[in-house]
Structure 1
Protein backbone atom coordinates (compact mmCIF):
# COMPACT_ATOMS: atom_id res chain seq x y z
CA UNK A 1 0.00 0.00 0.00
CA UNK A 2 3.02 2.29 0.53
CA UNK A 3 5.26 2.67 -2.52
CA UNK A 4 8.93 2.01 -1.89
CA UNK A 5 9.92 5.51 -3.08
CA UNK A 6 7.51 7.33 -0.74
CA UNK A 7 9.07 9.20 2.21
CA UNK A 8 6.94 9.08 5.34
CA UNK A 9 8.11 10.65 8.57
CA UNK A 10 7.91 8.34 11.57
CA UNK A 11 5.78 10.95 13.35
CA UNK A 12 3.02 10.83 10.76
CA UNK A 13 -0.14 8.91 11.71
CA UNK A 14 -1.67 6.85 8.92
CA UNK A 15 -4.94 4.97 9.38
CA UNK A 16 -5.82 1.50 8.20
CA UNK A 17 -5.89 0.87 4.48
CA UNK A 18 -4.05 4.06 3.49
CA UNK A 19 -2.18 3.84 0.18
CA UNK A 20 0.65 6.19 -0.81
CA UNK A 21 1.99 6.55 -4.36
CA UNK A 22 5.53 6.94 -5.72
CA UNK A 23 7.74 9.82 -4.57
CA UNK A 24 5.17 11.25 -2.20
CA UNK A 25 6.42 12.97 0.97
CA UNK A 26 4.41 12.91 4.20
CA UNK A 27 5.81 15.08 6.99
CA UNK A 28 5.58 14.42 10.73
CA UNK A 29 2.65 16.65 11.63
CA UNK A 30 0.05 14.73 9.61
CA UNK A 31 -2.95 12.55 10.48
CA UNK A 32 -4.56 10.58 7.64
CA UNK A 33 -7.85 8.72 8.05
CA UNK A 34 -8.58 5.12 7.12
CA UNK A 35 -8.88 4.00 3.50
CA UNK A 36 -7.43 7.20 2.04
CA UNK A 37 -5.64 7.05 -1.32
CA UNK A 38 -2.71 9.40 -1.98
CA UNK A 39 -1.26 9.62 -5.47
CA UNK A 40 2.29 10.11 -6.66
CA UNK A 41 4.52 13.16 -6.12
CA UNK A 42 2.35 14.68 -3.38
CA UNK A 43 3.64 16.58 -0.35
CA UNK A 44 1.47 16.53 2.76
CA UNK A 45 2.01 18.50 5.94
CA UNK A 46 4.52 21.04 4.62
CA UNK A 47 5.92 22.73 7.76
CA UNK A 48 4.81 26.33 8.23
CA UNK A 49 5.25 28.96 10.93
CA UNK A 50 1.69 30.08 10.12
CA UNK A 51 0.13 26.76 11.18
CA UNK A 52 0.34 27.44 14.91
CA UNK A 53 1.70 23.93 15.32
CA UNK A 54 -1.59 22.29 14.32
CA UNK A 55 -1.44 19.12 12.23
CA UNK A 56 -2.76 18.48 8.76
CA UNK A 57 -5.79 16.22 9.25
CA UNK A 58 -7.27 14.32 6.29
CA UNK A 59 -10.55 12.51 6.95
CA UNK A 60 -11.15 8.89 6.06
CA UNK A 61 -11.96 7.61 2.56
CA UNK A 62 -10.30 10.59 0.89
CA UNK A 63 -8.64 10.69 -2.54
CA UNK A 64 -5.67 12.99 -3.14
CA UNK A 65 -4.43 12.88 -6.70
CA UNK A 66 -0.88 13.33 -7.91
CA UNK A 67 1.30 16.43 -7.36
CA UNK A 68 -0.98 17.89 -4.70
CA UNK A 69 0.53 19.94 -1.85
CA UNK A 70 -1.10 20.46 1.55
CA UNK A 71 0.49 22.52 4.34
CA UNK A 72 0.20 21.55 7.98
CA UNK A 73 -2.45 23.24 10.11
CA UNK A 74 -5.52 22.40 7.99
CA UNK A 75 -8.34 19.94 8.65
CA UNK A 76 -10.68 18.12 6.26
CA UNK A 77 -13.67 15.87 6.87
CA UNK A 78 -14.40 12.53 5.27
CA UNK A 79 -14.26 11.90 1.53
CA UNK A 80 -12.06 14.80 0.50
CA UNK A 81 -11.36 14.51 -3.22
CA UNK A 82 -8.83 16.46 -5.28
CA UNK A 83 -7.78 16.77 -8.87
CA UNK A 84 -4.09 17.01 -9.78
CA UNK A 85 -1.63 19.73 -8.68
CA UNK A 86 -3.80 21.19 -5.94
CA UNK A 87 -2.29 23.58 -3.37
CA UNK A 88 -3.87 24.15 0.05
CA UNK A 89 -2.27 26.49 2.58
CA UNK A 90 -2.51 26.41 6.38
CA UNK A 91 -5.60 26.96 8.57
CA UNK A 92 -8.12 25.76 6.02
CA UNK A 93 -11.10 24.00 7.60
CA UNK A 94 -13.47 22.00 5.41
CA UNK A 95 -16.32 19.58 6.08
CA UNK A 96 -17.21 16.25 4.51
CA UNK A 97 -17.32 15.57 0.80
CA UNK A 98 -15.18 18.53 -0.26
CA UNK A 99 -14.05 18.41 -3.91
CA UNK A 100 -11.12 20.50 -5.20
CA UNK A 101 -10.56 20.50 -8.95
CA UNK A 102 -7.22 20.27 -10.74
CA UNK A 103 -4.93 23.27 -10.13
CA UNK A 104 -7.15 24.50 -7.32
CA UNK A 105 -5.45 27.02 -5.02
CA UNK A 106 -6.71 27.67 -1.49
CA UNK A 107 -4.65 30.35 0.22
CA UNK A 108 -5.55 29.33 3.77
CA UNK A 109 -7.33 30.81 6.79
CA UNK A 110 -10.59 29.69 5.15
CA UNK A 111 -13.73 27.96 6.41
CA UNK A 112 -15.56 25.66 4.00
CA UNK A 113 -18.73 23.65 4.67
CA UNK A 114 -19.97 20.20 3.68
CA UNK A 115 -20.18 18.91 0.11
CA UNK A 116 -18.68 21.98 -1.50
CA UNK A 117 -17.55 21.46 -5.09
CA UNK A 118 -14.74 23.44 -6.74
CA UNK A 119 -14.03 22.86 -10.41
CA UNK A 120 -10.53 23.30 -11.88
CA UNK A 121 -8.38 26.42 -11.56
CA UNK A 122 -10.36 27.95 -8.68
CA UNK A 123 -8.49 30.47 -6.48
CA UNK A 124 -9.73 31.06 -2.93
CA UNK A 125 -8.20 34.05 -1.13
CA UNK A 126 -7.46 34.06 2.58
CA UNK A 127 -10.30 34.55 5.07
CA UNK A 128 -12.97 33.29 2.69
CA UNK A 129 -16.04 31.68 4.27
CA UNK A 130 -17.98 29.20 2.17
CA UNK A 131 -21.18 27.49 3.30
CA UNK A 132 -22.61 24.06 2.56
CA UNK A 133 -23.45 22.61 -0.87
CA UNK A 134 -21.81 25.47 -2.77
CA UNK A 135 -20.72 25.16 -6.41
CA UNK A 136 -17.73 27.15 -7.70
CA UNK A 137 -16.94 26.68 -11.36
CA UNK A 138 -13.63 26.94 -13.33
CA UNK A 139 -11.38 30.01 -13.09
CA UNK A 140 -13.40 31.68 -10.34
CA UNK A 141 -11.40 33.96 -8.01
CA UNK A 142 -12.42 35.01 -4.50
CA UNK A 143 -10.34 38.07 -3.58
CA UNK A 144 -9.59 39.70 -0.21
CA UNK A 145 -7.50 42.90 -0.56
CA UNK A 146 -9.66 46.01 -1.15
CA UNK A 147 -6.71 48.20 -2.21
CA UNK A 148 -3.75 46.00 -3.21
CA UNK A 149 -1.09 45.76 -2.07
CA UNK A 150 -2.01 46.25 1.59
CA UNK A 151 -2.24 44.46 4.93
CA UNK A 152 -6.05 44.75 4.91
CA UNK A 153 -7.92 41.50 4.35
CA UNK A 154 -11.67 41.36 3.78
CA UNK A 155 -12.70 37.82 2.97
CA UNK A 156 -15.59 36.85 0.71
CA UNK A 157 -18.62 34.99 2.11
CA UNK A 158 -20.52 32.49 -0.04
CA UNK A 159 -23.63 31.12 1.65
CA UNK A 160 -25.31 27.69 1.31
CA UNK A 161 -26.44 26.42 -2.11
CA UNK A 162 -24.97 29.39 -4.02
CA UNK A 163 -23.33 28.85 -7.42
CA UNK A 164 -20.55 30.98 -8.93
CA UNK A 165 -20.23 30.45 -12.68
CA UNK A 166 -16.99 30.27 -14.63
CA UNK A 167 -14.42 33.09 -14.82
CA UNK A 168 -16.17 35.25 -12.25
CA UNK A 169 -14.45 37.41 -9.63
CA UNK A 170 -15.93 38.16 -6.23
CA UNK A 171 -14.38 41.28 -4.70
CA UNK A 172 -13.23 41.74 -1.08
CA UNK A 173 -15.84 41.68 1.66
CA UNK A 174 -18.72 40.73 -0.63
CA UNK A 175 -21.42 38.29 0.50
CA UNK A 176 -23.21 36.03 -1.98
CA UNK A 177 -26.31 34.91 -0.12
CA UNK A 178 -28.04 31.55 -0.01
CA UNK A 179 -29.18 30.06 -3.30
CA UNK A 180 -27.87 32.92 -5.43
CA UNK A 181 -26.35 32.46 -8.88
CA UNK A 182 -23.49 34.56 -10.23
CA UNK A 183 -23.38 34.45 -14.03
CA UNK A 184 -20.21 33.69 -15.99
CA UNK A 185 -17.57 36.40 -16.47
CA UNK A 186 -19.00 38.56 -13.70
CA UNK A 187 -17.27 40.97 -11.33
CA UNK A 188 -19.23 41.08 -8.07
CA UNK A 189 -18.67 44.18 -5.94
CA UNK A 190 -21.74 44.20 -3.69
CA UNK A 191 -24.01 41.85 -1.75
CA UNK A 192 -25.96 39.36 -3.85
CA UNK A 193 -29.41 38.77 -2.37
CA UNK A 194 -30.77 35.26 -1.72
CA UNK A 195 -32.12 33.29 -4.68
CA UNK A 196 -31.27 35.99 -7.22
CA UNK A 197 -29.19 36.01 -10.40
CA UNK A 198 -26.53 38.66 -11.02
CA UNK A 199 -24.21 39.01 -14.00
CA UNK A 200 -21.91 41.47 -15.71
CA UNK A 201 -19.04 43.76 -14.77
CA UNK A 202 -19.98 45.17 -12.40
CA UNK A 203 -22.56 42.49 -11.68
CA UNK A 204 -26.16 43.64 -11.68
CA UNK A 205 -29.47 42.02 -10.77
CA UNK A 206 -30.89 40.01 -13.67
CA UNK A 207 -33.83 38.09 -12.22
CA UNK A 208 -34.84 35.72 -9.47
CA UNK A 209 -33.37 32.23 -9.77
CA UNK A 210 -36.90 30.78 -9.91
CA UNK A 211 -37.42 32.59 -13.24
CA UNK A 212 -34.83 30.43 -14.99
CA UNK A 213 -36.35 27.44 -16.77
CA UNK A 214 -34.68 24.13 -17.51
CA UNK A 215 -33.67 23.73 -21.12
CA UNK A 216 -35.16 20.25 -21.33
CA UNK A 217 -38.58 21.23 -22.64
CA UNK A 218 -40.30 20.61 -19.32
CA UNK A 219 -40.88 24.26 -18.46
CA UNK A 220 -39.83 23.54 -14.88
CA UNK A 221 -37.73 25.98 -12.90
CA UNK A 222 -34.01 25.22 -12.80
CA UNK A 223 -33.67 26.63 -9.27
CA UNK A 224 -33.45 25.90 -6.42
CA UNK A 225 -31.11 23.32 -7.98
CA UNK A 226 -31.42 20.95 -4.99
CA UNK A 227 -35.02 20.35 -6.06
CA UNK A 228 -33.80 18.45 -9.12
CA UNK A 229 -30.06 17.67 -8.78
CA UNK A 230 -29.06 15.02 -6.23
CA UNK A 231 -26.10 13.15 -7.71
CA UNK A 232 -23.19 12.71 -5.31
CA UNK A 233 -24.99 13.94 -2.21
CA UNK A 234 -25.68 11.95 0.98
CA UNK A 235 -29.01 10.18 1.23
CA UNK A 236 -30.05 12.09 4.34
CA UNK A 237 -29.53 15.45 2.65
CA UNK A 238 -31.43 14.37 -0.46
CA UNK A 239 -34.32 13.07 1.65
CA UNK A 240 -34.52 16.42 3.43
CA UNK A 241 -34.59 18.29 0.12
CA UNK A 242 -37.31 16.03 -1.28
CA UNK A 243 -39.39 16.60 1.85
CA UNK A 244 -38.77 20.35 1.69
CA UNK A 245 -40.17 20.69 -1.81
CA UNK A 246 -42.93 18.10 -1.42
CA UNK A 247 -44.49 20.35 1.21
CA UNK A 248 -43.92 23.57 -0.72
Structure 2
Protein backbone atom coordinates (compact mmCIF):
# COMPACT_ATOMS: atom_id res chain seq x y z
CA UNK A 1 0.00 0.00 0.00
CA UNK A 2 3.07 2.28 0.19
CA UNK A 3 4.80 2.98 -3.12
CA UNK A 4 8.43 1.92 -3.32
CA UNK A 5 9.58 5.50 -3.98
CA UNK A 6 7.76 6.99 -0.98
CA UNK A 7 9.77 7.81 2.15
CA UNK A 8 8.04 7.07 5.45
CA UNK A 9 9.90 7.79 8.68
CA UNK A 10 10.07 4.80 11.06
CA UNK A 11 8.52 7.01 13.75
CA UNK A 12 5.40 7.65 11.66
CA UNK A 13 2.29 5.57 12.46
CA UNK A 14 0.15 4.53 9.50
CA UNK A 15 -2.80 2.20 9.63
CA UNK A 16 -2.28 -0.90 7.48
CA UNK A 17 -5.04 0.26 5.09
CA UNK A 18 -3.41 3.64 4.31
CA UNK A 19 -2.18 4.10 0.74
CA UNK A 20 0.78 6.34 -0.09
CA UNK A 21 1.64 7.42 -3.63
CA UNK A 22 5.01 7.77 -5.37
CA UNK A 23 7.62 10.20 -4.06
CA UNK A 24 5.59 11.23 -1.04
CA UNK A 25 7.49 12.02 2.17
CA UNK A 26 5.92 11.32 5.58
CA UNK A 27 7.91 12.46 8.61
CA UNK A 28 8.32 11.45 12.23
CA UNK A 29 5.37 12.14 14.51
CA UNK A 30 2.77 11.69 11.76
CA UNK A 31 -0.24 9.46 12.50
CA UNK A 32 -2.67 8.51 9.70
CA UNK A 33 -5.92 6.63 10.28
CA UNK A 34 -7.60 3.79 8.43
CA UNK A 35 -8.75 4.21 4.86
CA UNK A 36 -6.88 7.44 4.16
CA UNK A 37 -5.15 7.80 0.80
CA UNK A 38 -2.15 10.10 0.27
CA UNK A 39 -1.36 10.90 -3.34
CA UNK A 40 2.02 11.29 -5.03
CA UNK A 41 4.52 14.03 -4.26
CA UNK A 42 2.92 15.00 -0.94
CA UNK A 43 4.83 16.08 2.18
CA UNK A 44 3.35 15.46 5.64
CA UNK A 45 5.45 16.60 8.60
CA UNK A 46 4.84 15.91 12.27
CA UNK A 47 3.47 16.31 14.79
CA UNK A 48 0.41 15.79 12.58
CA UNK A 49 -2.62 13.56 13.07
CA UNK A 50 -4.78 12.65 10.08
CA UNK A 51 -8.00 10.74 10.73
CA UNK A 52 -9.91 8.12 8.76
CA UNK A 53 -10.99 7.96 5.12
CA UNK A 54 -9.38 11.20 3.98
CA UNK A 55 -8.40 11.72 0.34
CA UNK A 56 -5.24 13.80 0.06
CA UNK A 57 -4.36 14.62 -3.52
CA UNK A 58 -0.93 15.13 -5.09
CA UNK A 59 1.44 17.92 -4.07
CA UNK A 60 -0.28 18.76 -0.78
CA UNK A 61 1.88 19.99 2.11
CA UNK A 62 0.53 19.25 5.60
CA UNK A 63 2.06 19.94 8.99
CA UNK A 64 4.92 22.23 8.02
CA UNK A 65 6.22 24.74 10.54
CA UNK A 66 4.02 27.84 10.90
CA UNK A 67 4.85 30.90 8.83
CA UNK A 68 5.31 32.99 11.95
CA UNK A 69 8.58 34.76 12.74
CA UNK A 70 7.99 34.14 16.45
CA UNK A 71 8.03 30.38 15.95
CA UNK A 72 11.08 28.84 17.66
CA UNK A 73 10.64 25.14 17.02
CA UNK A 74 8.03 24.41 19.69
CA UNK A 75 6.19 21.04 19.31
CA UNK A 76 2.88 22.30 17.92
CA UNK A 77 0.36 20.25 15.93
CA UNK A 78 -1.88 19.91 12.91
CA UNK A 79 -5.00 17.79 13.45
CA UNK A 80 -7.11 16.68 10.48
CA UNK A 81 -10.39 14.86 11.13
CA UNK A 82 -12.21 12.23 9.05
CA UNK A 83 -13.56 12.01 5.49
CA UNK A 84 -11.99 15.20 4.20
CA UNK A 85 -11.07 15.79 0.58
CA UNK A 86 -7.88 17.85 0.27
CA UNK A 87 -7.04 18.73 -3.30
CA UNK A 88 -3.81 19.61 -5.08
CA UNK A 89 -1.27 22.07 -3.68
CA UNK A 90 -3.09 22.71 -0.39
CA UNK A 91 -0.93 23.90 2.51
CA UNK A 92 -1.83 23.47 6.18
CA UNK A 93 0.65 24.61 8.82
CA UNK A 94 0.98 23.61 12.46
CA UNK A 95 -0.06 25.94 15.30
CA UNK A 96 1.94 28.25 17.55
CA UNK A 97 2.35 28.57 21.30
CA UNK A 98 0.88 32.08 21.07
CA UNK A 99 -2.46 30.28 20.59
CA UNK A 100 -3.29 26.73 21.73
CA UNK A 101 -0.62 25.21 19.48
CA UNK A 102 -3.11 23.43 17.21
CA UNK A 103 -4.27 24.01 13.67
CA UNK A 104 -7.41 21.92 13.16
CA UNK A 105 -9.57 20.77 10.26
CA UNK A 106 -12.77 18.96 11.24
CA UNK A 107 -14.74 16.28 9.38
CA UNK A 108 -16.35 15.97 5.94
CA UNK A 109 -14.78 19.10 4.50
CA UNK A 110 -14.22 19.76 0.79
CA UNK A 111 -10.95 21.66 0.38
CA UNK A 112 -10.14 22.60 -3.21
CA UNK A 113 -6.80 23.28 -4.86
CA UNK A 114 -4.29 25.84 -3.54
CA UNK A 115 -6.17 26.48 -0.28
CA UNK A 116 -4.02 27.67 2.64
CA UNK A 117 -4.73 27.12 6.34
CA UNK A 118 -2.27 29.16 8.34
CA UNK A 119 -1.17 28.48 11.90
CA UNK A 120 -3.82 28.12 14.60
CA UNK A 121 -6.79 28.11 12.22
CA UNK A 122 -9.85 26.15 13.31
CA UNK A 123 -12.12 24.89 10.52
CA UNK A 124 -15.30 23.06 11.49
CA UNK A 125 -17.27 20.36 9.68
CA UNK A 126 -18.79 20.20 6.19
CA UNK A 127 -17.02 23.37 5.11
CA UNK A 128 -16.34 24.05 1.42
CA UNK A 129 -13.30 26.14 0.53
CA UNK A 130 -13.02 26.80 -3.20
CA UNK A 131 -9.77 27.18 -5.11
CA UNK A 132 -7.23 29.59 -3.64
CA UNK A 133 -9.23 30.46 -0.52
CA UNK A 134 -6.65 31.69 1.97
CA UNK A 135 -6.87 31.83 5.75
CA UNK A 136 -4.36 33.89 7.74
CA UNK A 137 -3.39 32.86 11.26
CA UNK A 138 -5.93 32.24 14.05
CA UNK A 139 -8.98 32.30 11.74
CA UNK A 140 -12.03 30.28 12.85
CA UNK A 141 -14.54 28.91 10.31
CA UNK A 142 -17.89 27.52 11.47
CA UNK A 143 -19.70 24.42 10.24
CA UNK A 144 -21.24 24.43 6.76
CA UNK A 145 -19.55 27.69 5.73
CA UNK A 146 -18.67 28.11 2.04
CA UNK A 147 -15.72 30.27 1.00
CA UNK A 148 -15.70 31.25 -2.66
CA UNK A 149 -12.59 31.06 -4.80
CA UNK A 150 -9.82 33.54 -3.96
CA UNK A 151 -11.44 34.53 -0.69
CA UNK A 152 -8.78 36.02 1.60
CA UNK A 153 -9.36 36.22 5.35
CA UNK A 154 -7.42 38.49 7.74
CA UNK A 155 -5.88 36.98 10.84
CA UNK A 156 -8.14 36.43 13.87
CA UNK A 157 -11.34 36.80 11.82
CA UNK A 158 -14.22 34.46 12.72
CA UNK A 159 -16.58 33.16 10.04
CA UNK A 160 -19.97 31.97 11.26
CA UNK A 161 -21.75 28.70 10.51
CA UNK A 162 -23.80 28.49 7.29
CA UNK A 163 -22.28 31.69 5.92
CA UNK A 164 -20.96 32.16 2.39
CA UNK A 165 -18.52 34.42 0.55
CA UNK A 166 -18.40 35.31 -3.10
CA UNK A 167 -15.49 35.08 -5.52
CA UNK A 168 -12.53 37.24 -4.56
CA UNK A 169 -13.94 38.43 -1.24
CA UNK A 170 -11.58 40.10 1.25
CA UNK A 171 -12.61 39.79 4.91
CA UNK A 172 -11.14 42.06 7.57
CA UNK A 173 -13.98 41.62 10.08
CA UNK A 174 -16.09 38.76 11.40
CA UNK A 175 -18.79 37.30 9.17
CA UNK A 176 -21.93 36.35 11.16
CA UNK A 177 -23.71 33.02 10.71
CA UNK A 178 -26.12 32.64 7.78
CA UNK A 179 -24.87 35.78 5.99
CA UNK A 180 -23.69 35.96 2.38
CA UNK A 181 -20.90 38.48 1.76
CA UNK A 182 -18.86 39.57 -1.23
CA UNK A 183 -16.48 42.29 -2.35
CA UNK A 184 -13.17 43.94 -1.54
CA UNK A 185 -13.67 44.73 1.21
CA UNK A 186 -16.52 42.29 1.82
CA UNK A 187 -20.01 43.60 2.53
CA UNK A 188 -23.14 41.70 3.52
CA UNK A 189 -25.35 41.02 0.50
CA UNK A 190 -28.12 38.76 1.78
CA UNK A 191 -28.62 35.65 3.86
CA UNK A 192 -27.90 32.11 2.67
CA UNK A 193 -31.49 31.14 1.87
CA UNK A 194 -30.85 28.36 -0.64
CA UNK A 195 -28.11 26.77 1.45
CA UNK A 196 -30.33 26.72 4.53
CA UNK A 197 -33.22 25.18 2.59
CA UNK A 198 -30.94 22.39 1.37
CA UNK A 199 -29.90 21.69 4.95
CA UNK A 200 -33.48 21.23 6.08
CA UNK A 201 -34.17 24.51 7.89
CA UNK A 202 -37.87 24.86 8.62
CA UNK A 203 -39.94 27.80 7.38
CA UNK A 204 -39.95 29.22 10.92
CA UNK A 205 -36.17 28.97 11.14
CA UNK A 206 -35.80 30.63 7.74
CA UNK A 207 -38.12 33.42 8.83
CA UNK A 208 -36.05 33.95 11.98
CA UNK A 209 -32.86 34.18 9.93
CA UNK A 210 -34.56 36.70 7.62
CA UNK A 211 -35.61 38.79 10.61
CA UNK A 212 -32.09 38.70 12.09
CA UNK A 213 -30.62 39.79 8.76
CA UNK A 214 -32.98 42.76 8.67
CA UNK A 215 -32.11 43.71 12.23
CA UNK A 216 -28.37 43.68 11.51
CA UNK A 217 -28.38 45.22 8.06
CA UNK A 218 -31.63 46.97 7.18
CA UNK A 219 -32.95 48.72 10.27
CA UNK A 220 -30.06 51.08 11.01
CA UNK A 221 -29.54 49.55 14.46
CA UNK A 222 -26.27 49.19 16.31
CA UNK A 223 -25.08 45.62 16.88
CA UNK A 224 -26.05 45.90 20.56
CA UNK A 225 -29.54 47.11 19.67
CA UNK A 226 -29.92 44.31 17.12
CA UNK A 227 -28.98 41.72 19.74
CA UNK A 228 -31.69 42.97 22.09
CA UNK A 229 -34.26 42.68 19.31
CA UNK A 230 -33.00 39.19 18.41
CA UNK A 231 -33.39 38.00 21.97
CA UNK A 232 -37.03 39.05 21.72
CA UNK A 233 -37.44 36.93 18.58
CA UNK A 234 -36.85 33.79 20.60
CA UNK A 235 -40.22 34.23 22.28
CA UNK A 236 -42.09 34.73 19.00
CA UNK A 237 -40.16 31.99 17.15
CA UNK A 238 -39.91 29.12 19.67
CA UNK A 239 -38.98 26.54 17.01
CA UNK A 240 -36.05 28.72 15.99
CA UNK A 241 -34.59 29.34 19.45
CA UNK A 242 -31.38 27.43 18.69
CA UNK A 243 -30.99 29.18 15.35
CA UNK A 244 -31.32 32.59 17.00
CA UNK A 245 -29.02 31.58 19.85
CA UNK A 246 -26.32 30.61 17.34
CA UNK A 247 -26.34 34.18 16.03
CA UNK A 248 -26.44 35.73 19.51
CA UNK A 249 -23.51 33.63 20.73
CA UNK A 250 -21.46 34.61 17.68
CA UNK A 251 -22.15 38.33 18.11
CA UNK A 252 -21.24 38.20 21.80
CA UNK A 253 -17.80 36.76 21.01
CA UNK A 254 -16.97 38.82 17.91
CA UNK A 255 -13.70 40.62 18.60
CA UNK A 256 -12.99 42.39 15.31
CA UNK A 257 -16.46 43.81 14.72
CA UNK A 258 -18.72 42.33 12.07
CA UNK A 259 -19.04 42.95 8.37
CA UNK A 260 -21.77 45.57 7.88
Would the TM-score normalized by the shorter structure come out above 0.5?
yes
Offset of residue 246 of structure 1: 6.3
Offset of residue 71 of structure 1: 1.3
Offset of residue 108 of structure 1: 1.5
Q: Which 5+ residue runs of structure 2 have no aligned equivalent? A: 65-76, 96-102, 206-260
Instruction: Name the structure 2 match of 1:9.
Output: 9
Picking from 80, 89, 96, the partner of 2:93 is 89
What TM-score, normalized by structure 2, do the two folds share? 0.68
Name the CA distance, whole Å, in 1 between partners of 2:3 and 2:27.
16
Offset of residue 76 of structure 1: 1.2
What TM-score, normalized by structure 1, do the two folds share? 0.71
Offset of residue 247 of structure 1: 6.3
Choose between structure 1 and 2 for higher RCO, CA contacts under 8 A separated by at least 6 residues: 2
Name the CA distance, whole Å, in 2 between partners of 1:112 and 1:97.
11
Name the CA distance, whole Å, in 2 between partners of 1:99 and 1:27.
25
CA-atom RMSD in angstroms: 1.7
Offset of residue 45 of structure 1: 1.2
Conservation of the 8 A alpha-carbon contact between 1:58 and 1:76: yes
Matched, 1:223 2:193: yes
Matched, 1:187 2:185: yes
Residues 164-243 of structure 1: pairs in structure 2 closer than 5 A: 164-171=165-172, 174-183=173-182, 185-188=183-186, 203=187, 205-206=188-189, 208-209=190-191, 223-228=193-198, 241-242=199-200
Question: Deviations for 1:166-186, whole angstroms, at most 9, x for unmatched residues?
Answer: 101001xx1111100012x33
4+ aligned runs moved over 2 Å, structure 1: none
Name the CA distance, whole Å, in 1 between partners of 2:116 and 2:177.
24
The count of aligned residue pairs is 186
Whose helix fraction is larger, Structure 1's or Structure 2's? Answer: 2
Instruction: Name the structure 1 match of 2:146.
Output: 135
Name the CA distance, whole Å, in 1 between partners of 2:62 and 2:105.
13
Conservation of the 8 A alpha-carbon contact between 1:120 and 1:137: yes
Q: Which piece of structure 1 moves more, 91-100 or 110-119?
A: 91-100
Conservation of the 8 A alpha-carbon contact between 1:179 and 1:224: no
Residues 114-153 of structure 1: pairs in structure 2 closer than 5 A: 114-144=125-155
Instruction: Name the structure 2 match of 1:111.
Output: 122
